[in-house]
Amino acid sequence: MEPVNEVNYMQLNLMKNNITRFMLAYKFALAEVETKLKILEEEFQLIHEYNPIEHIHTRLKSPESIVTKAQRKNIHFSLASFKEHMQDIAGVRINCSFNSDIYKVSDMIQKQQDIEVVECKDYIKNPKPNGYRSLHLILKIPVFMSDRVEKVFVEVQIRTIAMDFWASLEHKIFYKYNKAVPTFITKELKEAAVSANELDKKMENLHKEITKIKQNNEADESFSTTVVESSTDYNIPLKFMEMLLEENKKTTVKKN
């Protein structure tokens, strides 16, 4: 018969491995989502003239935070229960310049074939009572481990820079007052949220006008043979492009 302390050690070691595996699944899921977003971000930077993604931030709840939430929400104390009932252990926040960008980014995320969209909450069209506007996605991300595939929840919040500033300030105020915020401050916060949304609309309209002017100017200019160098290593020689164009012409002639 094994000593009690040795049995306890083996049980603790097994539990440690299970918790580590549990947390790693969420860490890897975050890495997968972040990689997908980085790919989109770089594509827009190098190919398109406008990048809708301004900033990406990821967050993984600590075991202590998971326990605290489980106690607050009366969630059964087990890893399986945490996985089933907590959808925000892994979180991604995406900041965009404009509300229209939010929907573009959301659409690109939801079209990814290996992502399962569990829920979409549109707080832009339907703001929260406190004035908060954002788009929330609950995703299920497959994580390919050495011996299994784990599907875990990742919460994605997409909001404008102005609303992100407001949300950050609102969080600090509620933390300071331990959620017992005076009524007059709550009222002013809501007014600030409305102002932030109006600012978003004005800036987006300005952006549209500037884009129109730029497009009109470009249409009037003659074709330039100068190749604009990107901020990366993809500096494409003009001769390289000319050779490809010539080859495309030959291919077209053969087909005809």
Q: Helices 4-46 and 99-110, interaxial angle, to 10°?
A: 120
Catalytic residue among 155, 204, 221, 242: 155
Query: What residues contact 166, with CB distance under 8 A and at least 6 apart?
Result: 131, 132, 189, 192, 193, 196
Active site residue 155: yes
| 53 phi, psi to nearest 5 deg | -95, 120
Under a CB-based contact definition with an 8 Å cutoff, are residues 255 and 247 in contact?
no
Q: Which run of H or E residues covers position 244?
A: helix 238-255
Under a CB-based contact definition with an 8 Å cutoff, are residues 43 and 70 in contact?
no
Under a CB-based contact definition with an 8 Å cutoff, are residues 173 and 189 in contact?
yes
CA atoms within 13 A on the CB side of 38: 8
Q: Cα 221 to the chain's mean position, in Å?
A: 38
Is the sign of the CA dihedral 14, 16, 18, 21 positive or negative? Answer: negative
Is the sign of the CA dihedral 233, 239, 245, 251 positive or negative? Answer: negative
Active site residues: 155
